[in-house]
DNA sequence: CTCCCTGATACCCCCAGGGTATGACAGCGC
DNA sequence: GCGCTGTCATACCCTGGGGGTATCAGGGAG
């Protein structure tokens, strides 16, 4: 009748390892058990998932299809579970994720007025986990900065805001009224290249596409610390830049840098009146 | 570890019936078994899902949350299963749902050229099942006519097309160069009111909101048969209207009727290169 | 030809999911 | 107040399936 999620999880392990022994080890079960579970799954679906030749294991087309579907399925099961556990705590709570520098007060106020019985929680996110908190059920909605992986999410645009370059106070460009991206071509960018798509182009043009290693800096404070130390520069949305101020770092407008798109996102598979209401309010209140 | 989908299904039955006995009957299992399974689910999640007073069963907040998440979860499990079974058939097939009257040839051509190894199947849908085929895994993408329930789907607009009124050839308005919605206020509309949102307004204005019973007509042929018989009128997108022609039914443009929005939709939780590629091509080729 | 690597098979144990019979308790009718 | 009824929980049994270990079977490498 229903597929067994345990078997699906086992399947994913085998599909990823392409090796029953290693997969079994990873799952902390014995190899024969795993062989039998996979065979049981194949029997249930009446479909062959792997071609086992002696000496090699590989996926069939059906297996590829299942692998494609399995991960989101397991993820949404896990997210549902987390949401249920969370819901048990309060009469009803509603968690809003937000990136630092974004002001959600107005939307929260209006939403509270409309849902007096609801406990509203705020969850500060970073660029890395702004989407993750939705998938794992930690937040009901999240105010995100593009670009994000929109996979499995419903995303509604709220507003755009300009981005600025953060430079050490003693940098040669510090104090200029405005600069262009190409002025920064030789600088080391202290963030994931996806966060600043424009960078890829100038970087590959000017440096032959040799990407410099990107340090993993997960929050603004750390980035600014490195900027101040002269290890590189950072591109930030204006509101974030003006939220974190320190004397040894200055911000400079960049003429030809596209704006940062701020959106509201939530899990696409959920229909909840609260989520819908919040979306309506946020779009009305925050949309520029 | 993973939630058991069987238990979740059982939970949904109890949550819907709010009665263990009836739910058990619906599930074709004995009532004590169901009681025990629900309790096991509660223990697993370490959360109370129902408040059982003698004489009544109702949901806790956690239960409400689970009910909200459970149905999409079960649906996506079922859809994944169907897709896997389908994938077992061919080396790789890609199924495109479409509403009658929509020409997909151009997009399919371009897509075939890009994916020579892929077998492309076309699945004709109706207004009722255009979304269903996505949720149950019968199609990978579907070309839909709004309004639809966008729950769980990613929807990209393709183009708009005008809609016309289909009238019996001997109707008093037949042959007019164009009419307005209000001219049709007294007519019986032979389709689901959601399909023609403008209707609700004039219907409630002019007839005190008493909705006439809507016959369940699932395809265009049946609708036109009834139109010809004088049982009512129908609103159709222009391309559909010109696709089905018969001498005893005529089409008349309606000035103040909004256009029909044609979109491409697919399941939001899926990331597949094929789906993404088709979306890019369809938007490029079909977008007006 | 032999050895090793890898998945499959055989067999055991035990728990969980199915069943039936019955209990406990609230509300209602008389 | 007593008994009836409706409803969920408890007690107990049986079977199947998921976990384990020991071992087999077959292909490649040397």
pLDDT tens-place string over residues B146-172: 888 888 888 888 888 888 888 888 888
Residue B211 has pLDDT above 50, yes or no: no
CB-proximal positions of chain D, under 7 Å? 6-11, 17-23, 26-28
The neighbouring-strand residues paired with A53 are A56
Query: If you average pLDDT over every residue of chain B, what do you get?
Result: 82
| Non-local CB neighbours of B116 within 8 Å, separated by 6+ positions | none
Mean pLDDT calculated for residue range A148-176: 85
CA dist., res. B68 & res. B113, Å (int): 42
- The predicted pLDDT at position B102 comes to 80
Provide the percentage of residues in chain B whose pLDDT is more than 90. Answer: 5
- The predicted pLDDT at position B215 comes to 59
- pLDDT grade for A228, boundaries at 50, 70 and 90: confident
Q: Do domains A5-81 and A163-258 have the same CATH topology?
A: no
Cβ of B2 near strand D (distance < 7 A) = no
Cα angle A223, A226, A230 (rounded to 5 degrees) comes to 135
DSSP letter (8 states) at residue B138: S
Paired tokens of A97: 């994720």
The nearest alpha carbon in chain B to A10 belongs to B2
- Angstrom distance, A129 CA to D19 C1': 37
Residue nearest to nucleotide D25 (CA to C1'): A54
Give the pairing type, strands B163-168 and B141-145: unpaired
Going across the sheet that includes B153-161, the strands are B119-124, B93-98, B141-145, B260-267, B153-161
**B272 touches A at CB < 8 Å:** yes
The CATH homologous superfamily of the domain defined by A90-161+261-286: Periplasmic binding protein-like II (3.40.190.10)
For A104-131, the pLDDT digits (tens) are: 888 888 899 988 888 888 888 888 888 8
- The predicted pLDDT at position B195 comes to 67
CB-proximal positions of chain C, under 7 Å? 5-11, 17-22, 25-27
**In chain B, which residues have their Cβ closer than 8 Å to the Cβ of A80?**
3, 66, 69-70, 73
- The predicted pLDDT at position A264 comes to 92
Pick from A70, A34, A23, A66: which is nearest to A48 by CA?
A66
- What are the domain boundaries of chain B? 5-80, 90-161+261-286, 163-258
- Angstrom distance, A55 CA to C2 C1': 18
**In chain A, which residues have their Cβ closer than 8 Å to the Cβ of B1?**
6, 9
Residue B43 has pLDDT above 70, yes or no: yes
For A259-281, the pLDDT digits (tens) are: 888 999 998 877 778 888 999 99
Alpha helices in A90-162 (DSSP H): 105-114, 132-135
- The predicted pLDDT at position A265 comes to 92
CA dist., res. A229 & res. A128, Å (int): 23
Residue for token pair 């960078």: A199
Specify whether domain A5-81 bears CATH 3.20.20.30: no
Residue B223 has pLDDT above 60, yes or no: yes
Residue B205 has pLDDT above 50, yes or no: no
**In chain B, which residues have their Cβ closer than 8 Å to the Cβ of A265?**
none
CA B259 to chain centre: 19
Range B163-258: architecture per CATH: 3-Layer(aba) Sandwich (3.40)
Residue A287 has pLDDT above 80, yes or no: no
- pLDDT grade for A142, boundaries at 50, 70 and 90: very high
Closest nucleotide to B6, Cα to C1': C17
Provide the percentage of residues in chain A whose pLDDT is more than 70. Answer: 89
**120-159 in chain B: CB under 8 A from chain A:** 150-154
| Non-local CB neighbours of A40 within 8 Å, separated by 6+ positions | A7
Helices (H) and strands (E) in chain A, counts: 10, 10
CA dist., res. B198 & res. B99, Å (int): 21
- The predicted pLDDT at position A268 comes to 83
| CATH number, domain B5-80, options 1.10.10.10, 3.40.50.970, 3.40.50.1980, 3.10.150.10 | 1.10.10.10
| Non-local CB neighbours of A282 within 8 Å, separated by 6+ positions | A107, A111, A141, A143, A156, A158, A264
């Amino acid at each position: 009748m229903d597929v067994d999620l345990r078997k699906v999880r086992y399947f994913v392990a085998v599909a990823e390892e392409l090796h029953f022994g290693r997969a079994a080890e990873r799952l902390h079960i014995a190899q024969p058990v795993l062989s039998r579970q996979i065979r049981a799954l194949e029997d249930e679906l009446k479909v062959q998932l792997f071609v086992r030749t002696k000496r090699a294991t590989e996926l069939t087309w059906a297996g590829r299809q299942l692998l494609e579907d399995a991960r989101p399925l397991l993820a949404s099961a896990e997210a549902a579970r987390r949401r249920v556990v969370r819901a048990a705590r309060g009469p009803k709570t509603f968690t809003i994720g937000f990136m630092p520098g974004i002001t959600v007060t107005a939307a929260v106020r209006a939403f509270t007025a409309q849902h007096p019985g609801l406990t509203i929680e705020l969850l500060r996110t970073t660029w890395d986990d702004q989407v993750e908190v939705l998938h794992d059920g930690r937040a009901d909605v999240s105010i995100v900065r593009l670009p994000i992986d929109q996979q499995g999410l419903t995303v509604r645009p709220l507003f755009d805001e300009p981005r600025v370059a953060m430079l050490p106070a003693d940098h040669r460009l510090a104090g200029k009224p405005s600069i262009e991206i190409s002025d920064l071509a030789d600088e080391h960018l202290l963030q994931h290249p996806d966060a600043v798509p424009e960078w890829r182009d100038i970087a590959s043009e000017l440096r032959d596409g040799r990407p410099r290693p990107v340090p993993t800096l997960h929050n603004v404070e750390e980035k600014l610390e490195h900027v101040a130390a002269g290890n590189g520069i950072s591109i930030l949305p204006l509101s974030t830049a003006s939220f974190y101020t320190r004397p040894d770092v200055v911000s400079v407008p960049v003429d030809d840098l596209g704006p940062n798109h701020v959106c509201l996102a939530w899990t696409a598979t959920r229909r909840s009146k609260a989520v819908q209401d919040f979306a309506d309010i946020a779009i009305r209140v925050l949309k520029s």
